[in-house]
Structure 1
Amino acid sequence: MTEIKDISESEARQQFILYWGDMGGQWGVNRSVAQIHALLFLSVSPMNAEQISDQLGIARSNVSNSLKELVGWKLIKRVPVSGDRREHFVAEVDVWEMAMRIAAGRKEREIDPAMAALAECLETAKTEQGLNPVVMQRMKEMQDFLAIADHWYGQMLGVPKSKLQMLMKMGNKVFSMLKITGKKSE
């Protein structure tokens, strides 16, 4: 684990940054990228790459590459600071907006290519002689599932954050309204 060098900050802040870095690794995000995101998310003022490097004990080159990745995800942005020519960065602090940006990025980088590859596989499968029909059926089921998930995602983008938050908080009420009992049914 990276040791955070700025001891003037709270232990809870340090723990958050370290845990966010660990969670990032579990989600397929580089630990340094996740820690920098956490640091900027908790920072009350813009930070430059040197400050980030010093506080996290991460090599300056690693910080620069990580900042580029976070800017690409639109989770942080560059902001000017009066009297300082260096680039400074701030994070998106609206957690709902941040979650939507992460979801959009993951869809773009993972779901869209998977859907395109699956469509290509199905086109190839249509012309193959001797393909077991079960194989074709399973690929089609996967394509249908991804299409439904993609459509649902598109619908959720149109829901205002306040309504989406309310919907998510309803939890069990939604299940009871839909008469979902937890038992498997078709």
Structure 2
Amino acid sequence: MVKSKIIAFLMIVLPIALSASGAEHHDVTMSNSDFFYRVLNFSIFIGTLVYLYANPIKAFFKERSEGIAKQLKEIEDKLQASKDEAKKAQEALAYSEYKAKEIIEDSKKEAIMLAQNIEKKSVSDLELMDKQFVDKVDVEGRKASRATINSVLNDGFSSDDITLDSSKIVSLVSKKVA
């Protein structure tokens, strides 16, 4: 750092010293030049500038670095929040996949149970329908046999063929009762 100050000083002083010339054409020596006064004035000027502007410049750069640090912290917080949200979303996705599999398994089991219940009900309904059919066939058979018997009796016997009087009916009933 000291070396860079010396180089900067020489870069400023050498051109001034080499290009300075008086009104007369005589050789300029260090003893009869105003070089030291100019360097002194320049040093005072730079010192004054440093004294006046050092604190505001330091404050500016400090505020700037604090602002950058604050922005970096906000960005890191947002990044962490987005990572947390992504993790929560991943967990929610895993839970949803688990629940979906569970729902599918439950629906398959329920479908099997419903199919079995429908099958049992259908079998019992078919058995009931068979029984009703058999009963109806029996009833229809009885009706048909009654109708046949009635028609045979009505057609086969006429009241002219058999004469029953009340004394014969009473004797028949008495025999049955006794």
TM bracket, shorter-chain basis: under 0.3
TM-score, normalising length from structure 2? 0.23
TM-score, normalising length from structure 1? 0.22
Q: Higher strand share goes to which structure?
A: 1
Q: Higher helix share goes to which structure?
A: 2
Instruction: Give the number of the structure whose alpha-carbon radius of gyration is greater.
Output: 2
